[in-house]
Amino acid sequence: MNFWNWLFRRHAREKDLDDEVQAHLRMAAQERIAAGESAEQARVSAVREFGNVDLVKETARDIWGFRWLEQLIQDVRYSLRQLGCNPGFTVVAMLTLALGIGATASIFSVIYALALRSLPVPQPDRLVEIGQNSRGNLHTYGEWKLFRDRQDIFLHVFSYNYFDTNFNITGAKERRAVSGLYVSGDYFQGLGVQAVLGRVLQASDDQPGVPPVCVLGYGLWRQLYGESRDILGRALLVNGHEFQIVGVAPRSFFGVDIGHMPEIFMPLEAERTYSDYPLLYGRQTPSLDDPHATILSFIGRLRPGVRVSQANAGLQVLSAQIYGALSGASDANGRAVVRGSLVALPITSDAWLQDMDMVLLLMAMAAVALIICCANLGNLLLARATKRQAEIATRLALGATRWRLIRQLLTESITVSLIGAAAGLLVERWASRSLIWALSWPDDTLSLDLSWDARLVVFALGITLSCALLFGLAPAIRATYVSIYSAMKNGVAAGRRSSRFSNSLLVVLQLSLSMALLVSAGLLVRTLHALLSQDPGYDPRGILVCHPSWQGPSETLPRAAFTGERLLREFRSVPGVTSASWSRVSSEMTGPRLTVSGPTGSEGQSGSYLIFVSSHFFRTRRTPILAGRDFSDGDSRTSFPVAILSEDLAKTLFHGVNPVGLSFRENDRNGKGQEYPVEIVGIAGDIQYRRPGDGALPILYRPVAQCADSGAGVGVYEVRVAGSFPQMTKRLEKAAENVDSHISIRFEPLTDTVSSVVHRNRAMALIATAFGLFVSLLAVIGVYGVTSSATAERTREIGIRLALGAQPADVLWMILGETAALVWTGIAIGVTASFAASRMIRGLIWGVAPTDPLSFGLAVCLMLLISGIAAFLPARRATKVDPMVALRYE
């Protein structure tokens, strides 16, 4: 029997069956008339003899198959009618489920994208990342050339610059910052990715001296050119340099780094073309030519049939050759060449491991929210089951089996769940966007592929159906467990007491879980507050940070570093500027190790971070100079080298002895290996460069004028202004134009930087608070429900009490007392759960005890207050009962 055939011929068969039964009845009646019965009596007898006409028809229909489908359609239609009749229940259930399922699905989709989704390239499992067992996963350019030319272990090897990923692109109309990659020539071939338009990069593009070309990401192609197909061969300005567009990458392609979405791909060698940038502009990362700059990530594609362990054996041999060849190269700074061996590891995303504590907390919150949602719906359904007892008893009496009724009630739950899940999809889209916002850092946006695929759909359907079972099964079974006789007689159910008991259990569960969430939210909010109220060692208010960058053609790039000085001078002369400074953070990957002769002749050593600052740096930041003096304009390139130590560094090196006037020896970073003395002229208060909760860093300040080495990074200007920021940015831009019209400046209030550092704490506090309030709301609905059903059931008893002279206040307290027992139980369990929860999120709280009394106290008070209100409303209604009405009732 074909399904479609069944579907279309269903009505014809129905009619046929009906006719057949009617014919039977007519013939039976006729026979009886012939035997002498009256027409009316004959008809009645025939029908009686036939039995349950509908049951016969139904059984006959069963024969023709697809009965289950027919029943399903029937059940769904019935469910929809039921839902339509109870709009209140429907809306509450739908919203609850939409939020619960949406939140869970969004967290799963983010985790899925971070950790479980495979790379959108052919055979991603054959790709390995090649790291170095003694140093990590990055390599130098010298190592890359040797590795590329000498290896025959892999089918393809390719590399990309891990650090240089931020570019300014000047298109036809606008300028925008995009993330991109410098990749080796074999990058696309190695990944097995074809261009959707034009061609991908080739080995011939990655040669010294060839005109620079680039491949656009799909997104950039769409945004800049609206997917226009005639862009091939056009020029694009990247950081002010012309690149010819040769192709467009596929839509889903993002390289091998999950969480990053490069939008432009350029050959490694193109980067070297511009390695003669002046220090001030553009470059923030070490150049390829620095023999010690480990900046490249290596990826290999295994040959067919070769296992990772086999590849590693080959790599061990190859490493000896590579590092052997490199150790002959001159090493200007006298640093030892790294020894070790290359190792291949399957590519797995570890991004989610770094965020594990956050992800776990989010998952726990979503799970709790979902459980509470289900508990709430279970409660609602239990209450409804009580109301529907008469209906269910009637249907049982008419011959429906219990299984049939349970199936029908479950169909109702599943229908609600599916509708809720559909609404949850909207929530999911929105929630995953906010999750990504929460997981991203302001300067490093996470971009993930969150599109739906089969596994996500299975997950979403799975949780939807398990929700339906979770909240629907118990009430369905309970609802059908009625004594037909007593239910039909007066609608009083035998199972009611126990139904109230399970109601109460669910409410206790809800209360305790929401307590735990509220306490966690409180702890996170208190953490944020503690972090923000921490003294960072400077005053960020009123400071504009200016990041200048060079936007001109390379020929006219001013090479003189004195442009930096001129810019500073121009800034200082702008009206409204109270103070301005210029600083450059050293690009040295490891800070200089300072060795000083202690006062007693012993030597002290400490690693430190090197920052080059101009005069007025500390004044602008309002950081106190604790001893000695600040840098002045007199500390120039030609004067005696001087330094200021941070308080932390001074303590580490000199153990409380005033070091002002002492000196240490510094290595000349120009590569000649000369050492010269540097005099310590002052000690500055500690400045918090990391998160507010972290300890102070040991920092060595040197005058920017005395920074001669090629490794220094971009300059940053900090300007303390008196006027409004928008007005001042305009003035500062004009001042920069006086120096050179090619300079463009990105402005950022320093307070933004500070607040972006606590971004995650803020995001988590916000999310946790939102979740906490949401589930508390659900718990309150639960309290309201259980109290009102308890009072409704006792209307008669209350009526008698009032009639016998009980005061309304007594009744009120009686009912409130019963609910209070419930609420207190919930809170007591909740406090215990909160201790467990606060231990779980230990890594995310700072500056506040995990047993913070304020967070616990507030949560308890909030729970008490809102459940008090929720219980008071139905209790008060109960005292308004008219004894006469109550007694007549039932």
Partner 1 sequence: MPTPKRDRYQNRIELLQGTLDLLILQTLQWGPQHGYAISQSIRGRSGDVLQVETGSLYPALHRLAKQGWVTSEWKQTESNQRAKYYRLSAAGRKQLLSEQARWKEMVSAIAGIMRPVREEGR
Q: How many degrees, rounded to 5, is the angle at CA 691 between CA 689 and CA 696?
A: 50
Looking at beta carbons only, is 23 or 484 nearer to partner 1? 23
Q: Per-residue string for binding with partner 1, 148-167, x by CB under 8 A? A: --------------------
Amino acid at 171: G
Q: Per-residue string for binding with partner 1, 51-80, x by CB under 8 A? A: xx--xxx-xx-xxx----------------
Q: Which stretch binds partner 1 (CB under 8 A): 47-55, 380-388, 622-630, 749-757?
A: 47-55
Q: At 250, is the secondary structure helix, strand, or coil? A: coil
Looking at beta carbons only, is 57 or 572 nearer to partner 1? 57
Looking at beta carbons only, is 51 or 136 nearer to partner 1? 51
Looking at beta carbons only, is 27 or 589 nearer to partner 1? 27
Looking at beta carbons only, is 28 or 625 nearer to partner 1? 28
Min separation Cβ 477 and partner 1, Å: 29
Place of tokens 């240089």: 164
Choice from 14, 49, 125, 391 touching partner 1 (CB under 8 A): 49
Min separation Cβ 56 and partner 1, Å: 5
Q: How many degrees, rounded to 5, is the angle at CA 301 between CA 299 and CA 303?
A: 150
Q: Which stretch binds partner 1 (CB under 8 A): 45-53, 283-291, 567-575, 708-716?
A: 45-53
Q: d(Cα 254, Cα 260) in Å, to the nearest integer?
A: 7
Min separation Cβ 4 and partner 1, Å: 17
Query: Residue 804 to residues 546, 577, 877: CA-CA distances in angstroms?
Result: 81, 83, 19
Closest CA to 21 of 63, 62, 48, 53: 53
For position 50 contacting partner 1 by CB under 8 A, the verdict is yes
Looking at beta carbons only, is 64 or 459 nearer to partner 1? 64
DSSP codes, 337-391? PPP--EEEEE----HHHHTHHHHHHHHHHHHHHHHHHHHHHHHHHHHHHHHTHHH
Min separation Cβ 24 and partner 1, Å: 5
Q: d(Cα 318, Cα 324) in Å, to the nearest integer?
A: 10
Q: Tell me if 624 sits within 8 A of 537, measured CB to CB.
A: no
β 743-749/593-597 pair status: unpaired
Looking at beta carbons only, is 26 or 251 nearer to partner 1? 26
Min separation Cβ 6 and partner 1, Å: 12
Min separation Cβ 879 and partner 1, Å: 56
For position 39 contacting partner 1 by CB under 8 A, the verdict is no
Q: At 558, is the secondary structure helix, strand, or coil? A: coil
Looking at beta carbons only, is 67 or 629 nearer to partner 1? 67
Tokens (6 digits) for 815:
């009912």
Q: d(Cα 859, Cα 823) in Å, to the nearest integer?
A: 13
Q: Which stretch binds partner 1 (CB under 8 A): 44-52, 102-110, 121-129, 461-469?
A: 44-52
Min separation Cβ 91 and partner 1, Å: 43
Looking at beta carbons only, is 26 or 541 nearer to partner 1? 26
Sorted by sequence, the CB contacts under 8 Å of residue 18 that are 6+ apart come out as: 57
Min separation Cβ 407 and partner 1, Å: 21
Query: Residue 194 to residues 128, 241, 243: CA-CA distances in angstroms?
Result: 20, 26, 20
13-32 residues in contact with partner 1 (CB under 8 A) are 16-17, 19-21, 23-24, 26-28, 30
Looking at beta carbons only, is 8 or 50 nearer to partner 1? 50
- Site size for partner 1 (CB under 8 A): 24
Closest CA to 290 of 676, 589, 549: 589
Min separation Cβ 1 and partner 1, Å: 7
Min separation Cβ 71 and partner 1, Å: 16
Min separation Cβ 51 and partner 1, Å: 5
CB atoms within 10 A of CB 809: 9
CB atoms within 10 A of CB 340: 12
Amino acid at 387: K
Looking at beta carbons only, is 27 or 116 nearer to partner 1? 27
282-321 residues in contact with partner 1 (CB under 8 A) are none
Give the per-residue SS3 of 378-445. Answer: HHHHHHHHHHCHHHHHHHHHCCCCHHHHHHHHHHHHHHHHHHHHHHHHHHHHHHHHHHHHHHCECCEC
Looking at beta carbons only, is 56 or 812 nearer to partner 1? 56
> Is residue 704 packed enough to be buried (19+ CB in 10 Å), middle (13-18) or exposed (0-12)?
buried
Min separation Cβ 57 and partner 1, Å: 8
Q: Which residues bind partner 1 (CB under 8 A)?
A: 1, 16-17, 19-21, 23-24, 26-28, 30, 49-52, 55-57, 59-60, 62-64
